[in-house]
Each structure stands twice: as structure tokens, then as C-alpha cells.
Amino acid sequence: MSDVTRAEVCAVACAELFRGDGEIVAAAVAGFVPMLGSRLARATFEPDLLTTDGGPTLSAEPVPLGRTAEVAEGWLPFRDHLWLVLNARRHVVMGPSQIDRYGNTNISCIGDWERPARQLLGSRGGPGNTLLNPTSYWVPKHSARVFTDKVDFVSGVGWDRGAHEIRAVVSNLAVLDFDTPDHRMRLRSVHPGVTVDDVVAATGFELAVPGDVPQTRLPDDEELRVMREVLDPKGLREREVPA
Amino acid sequence: MSKVLTIDEVVGSLESGMTVGIGGWGSRRKPMALVRALCRSDVTDLTVITYGGPDVGLLCAAGKVRRLVTAFVTMDSIPLEPHFRQARQTGAIELTEYDEGMFMFGLYAAAHRLPFLPTPVGLGSDVMRVNPELKTVRSPYEDGQELVAVPALKMDAALIHMNRADARGNAQYLGADPYMDDLFAKAADRTYVSCERLVDTADFAKEGPPQSMLISRAQVTGVVETPNGAHFTDCEPDHRRDEAFQKLYAKSAADPEAWAAFRDRFLSGDEAAYQDAVRTWQEESR
């Protein structure tokens, strides 16, 4: 297998977010790529994960993107999702409109909350997810508008505001984590074909950049096969990541 | 015994200035026939409590909303709601913005007649900044934890949409998610249920298992049969979300001229006229 796409690198990076999580619910609500990643993790190295088909069904097996579960192993309506946030056996991947160096995020509105320039979704589950569950983020278009010095509204709390654990951020350019003494965002790896300078230029605050930044790992043959033949034969992942 | 009403009787019992809860979630099982009727009525100045979808958009477009209490407004397959965005960006409505779990605790508190329920959710976030009326409490036990005291989301009336109901107001959902509709019914002083189909009480057992009977008549003031009444939101298994129509709605809502045309075509008459206009549009679009 060759010609690995950027979307496939991103999906494997999203799968890696769940490594070691064990028997918890992977709530990858941010898009096709993290949803694929969570199911790929379950199909390969993290078999105890619980995943949904995007609806209230916990599927008996990882379900291909866009399909409904043929066999259910459980039921998770919205009220139980919200209960599970408090119970905390859950790792969520959200999609921020803005994120700062400590991982504070905004999905609520751009501009002043009192009268926003652009109203977005609203806080949704951001405050609870980040305060109580391991949280990661997926950014399909890495730019200084998203990676910003100050978020306009804190709908998801970061490390400096009491977050349980902001684990990592996967973007179309890189993987970033908070593995620094004061939990500032750090460049962990760059995707193949991306330079450190590319990431720094597309980030609106000062990133911690180690002396030696490795490349994000490539999917292995089995991962490529599972993505291409089983979990996403329609290639929905490719729609989400600009070439 | 019978609590069967017409759509107009339900809406006629609501008054300006009321706090009205709306069941469903995003663009799923919304009591859209009742919402459309509310938009046609003289009622205004409402406080609306809901997990918001196009119900919020329609009510904002009709100028019915003074304050919205919500965690989000979305149409699911279309993430953002144009009328809601417009209302916020022009300052036309006031907003109480909670996390969706805080919101659920507010419903639980009201349903259980408690003044509040404690949760850590909200701490550290700007939800606390933009809702300065929110207070915290400290656990009286050894942990001493600080918690947000989410106030009960009390409401004068709640509107919910179910798959089946009987004339006495018992109601059943047949889809995969109850959403929070039972909590709305218990939280409100008066609850009105619209349903896809009125059935004999004896027929509930043919439709689904006992646990699908979500709503008790003890919580219900009135019931009204509105076939396809959740349109264009999802109401599985009776009808799925009408994605093509939702697209038309969203596209029209984003442009004043297109919205005027949409309103004239679909929203200028009563519910029967709406359903007719939708059928005609569907036939034309085939």
C-alpha cells in the first residue's frame, strides 16, 4: 500500500489519541477524521474502546462511516451521554473554532458575547467535557484564526482554567500536545510534507518547539487496509482535509 | 376525560410573556406544528427553554422570543441556524447560555421541584461570566467541593412531540432517543403533547414496549394529533428528517428576499396549508 494521504495520516494521529484508554466511550464528535480514528483505534490496538454509530447506539463492532450499527451492544441516548460526562469514562474529541496556548477553546461565538459578530453553535457540552473528561481536539484547517492568542469565549476550559486533561490537538498540519512544565501547547510532530516553520506560521501564538521535531507516524499496511476497505471505503476522510 | 384539542386551542391557551419549554433536540422530534401555530399567533415576548433547533429559528424570525435559554442551536446536518444567528448578531434576543449538562440538571431540578441541583460543570468557563446570577455552593461533606447550583428551569408551559398518544394524554416515543421530553413535561405547569397519531390506549402495547411510554397523562394538559407534525425535523420511525427541505429552509433563512418567498409559500396559512405546500414542493422537486 502506498500513496498515503494527509487525511489518512490525520486519522491515524486521531486513533493514537485513544491509545491506552481501555474500556471507555470514545466520543469523537468533531468530524469524519476523528470518528474514523476512534473506530480505527478500536479495530486495531485499542479493542476495548466503546464507539457509537453517530446515534444513540453503542455498536458491537466499529461501524463504517455513515452506516448504522447492525448489532448494538448498548444504548446511549443524549441524557446518558450527559450523565457519562460526570461519570467520566469518556474521552471526547471536539472541533474548536478558536483555541489558545493552554487549550481553552471557543465554539460559542466570535466577537463580544453580548452582541457577537458571528454567532456559532453555543457552548454545547464544552464546559463539562473539558472540566471532567480527557479532551482532545481536531482542527481540519490549521490557521492563526483558529490557533489564536485569546479566545473570544471560553466554552471549553484549558489547562490554566481547571481542565481535567487536554490531551492533544490533531490538525491537518501537525500533532500538538501540552507536555511542557506549565502546560503550554507544544509541537509534538509534523505531518509528512509539513515543516516546523509551516506550523509556526499558521499559529497565532508562540508554540513550544523542541529542538528536534519528529514526523507524525505513517499508517501501517493493516491500518490502511482497515480504513480503505472496511471503515471508510467511500473516502469521506478525504473531504475533510484540504489537499 | 378526553384532553384532545386543536392546534389553535393549544396556542390559544398561551399568553405573551410566558416561559415556554420545547422538547426534542436540535433538529429532532420538535413539535413543529405547534411552533408554526405559535408563529402565526399574537403571542409574543416569550422566554423559550430548549435544546435549540429550527424551532428557535422560526420563533426568532417571527419576533416571538424575548429570551432564549439553551446550550446550543443547531440543525445537526446543518451545524448553524441562520435565524438564530441573525437574532443574536442584531441583538434582537437575550440569551441564557448553559452547558448542555447544566441545562439537563436545571430540567431535573424543576421536574423534581428542587430549587437547584449541584454540578461542577460550568466552573472555569465563560458560562459563569455571562450568567452572573449563577451561584455556587460548597459540599457540606468532607470533600468540600465547590459546585454550581443550577437553578430549576421552571416553565409555564411545555410543548413536546411524540410518536403516539391517547386521548387522555399518555404518550409514547418509538424512536431511539427520548431526548429530555419527559423532563420538560414534569418541569412545566402545563404540558401539551402533539403526536403523529392518536391511538386507543390498548394499542400502545402493539406499538412498543412499556418503557417507550414516556409521558403520563398526569403531566399532560392537552393532546393534539399532528401527522407529519415534526416536519422537517426527524421523527423516527414515522418520518426521517426532510434533509432537502431543511436545506431549502436554511438557504432561505440566510437571505431576506428568499425568506419572504419561503414564508409566503409555506408559512402564510394554517398547518394543513403548510403540509399541502410541502407535498407540492416535494412533488416538484422529484
Q: B7-98+153-266 has which fold?
A: Glutaconate Coenzyme A-transferase (3.40.1080)
B74 contact A CB<8A: yes
Q: Dihedrals φ, ψ of B34, to 5°?
A: -70, -40
Digitized pLDDT (tens) for each residue of chain B, 286 residues in all: 899 999 999 999 999 999 999 999 999 999 999 999 999 999 999 999 999 999 999 999 999 999 999 999 999 999 999 999 999 999 999 999 999 999 999 999 999 999 999 999 999 999 999 999 999 999 999 999 999 999 999 999 999 999 999 999 999 999 999 999 999 999 999 999 999 999 999 999 999 999 999 999 999 999 999 999 999 999 999 999 999 999 999 999 999 999 999 999 999 999 999 999 999 999 999 8
Q: Is A237:A9 a contact under the CB 8 Å cutoff?
A: no
Choose among B219, B189, B230: nearest CA to B13.
Answer: B189
Q: Dihedrals φ, ψ of B28, to 5°?
A: -135, 130
Tell me which residue in B97, B179, B180 faces A122 most closely, judged by beta carbons: B97
Query: For chain B, what are the domain ranges?
Result: 7-98+153-266, 117-151
Could you give the CA distance from residue B285 to residue B13 in angstroms, rounded to a whole number?
Answer: 37
- Cβ count within 10 A of residue A136: 26
**Measured between beta carbons, which residues in chain A are less than 8 angstroms from residue B72?**
121-124
Please state the ipTM of this predicted complex: 0.96
Tell me which residue in B99, B178, B180 faces A127 most closely, judged by beta carbons: B99
**Secondary structure letter of residue B217 according to DSSP:** G
Contacts with A98 (C-beta within 8 Å, 6 or more apart), sequence order? A105, A106, A110, A145, A146, A148, A151, A152
C-alpha torsion A18→A19→A20→A23, nearest 10: 40
Q: Is A43:A30 a contact under the CB 8 Å cutoff?
A: no
Could you give the CA distance from residue A66 to residue A205 in angstroms, rounded to a whole number?
Answer: 36
Query: Is A119 in contact with B79 (Cβ distance < 8 A)?
Result: no
Q: A6-240 has which fold?
A: Glutaconate Coenzyme A-transferase (3.40.1080)
Q: Which residues pair with B4 in a beta bridge?
A: B223
A166 contact B CB<8A: no
Query: For chain A, what are the domain ranges?
Result: 6-240
Interface of A with B in 110-149 (CB under 8 A): 113-128, 130-132
Q: Which residues pair with B165 in a beta bridge?
A: B171, B198
Interface of B with A in 120-159 (CB under 8 A): 120-127, 129-130
Query: Is B120 in contact with A77 (Cβ distance < 8 A)?
Result: no
H helix or E strand, kind and range, residue B193 = strand B188-198
Could you give the CA distance from residue B164 to residue B196 in angstroms, rounded to a whole number?
Answer: 6
Question: Which of B100, B128, B214 best probes binding to A when mutated, by most A CB atoms within 10 angstroms?
Answer: B100
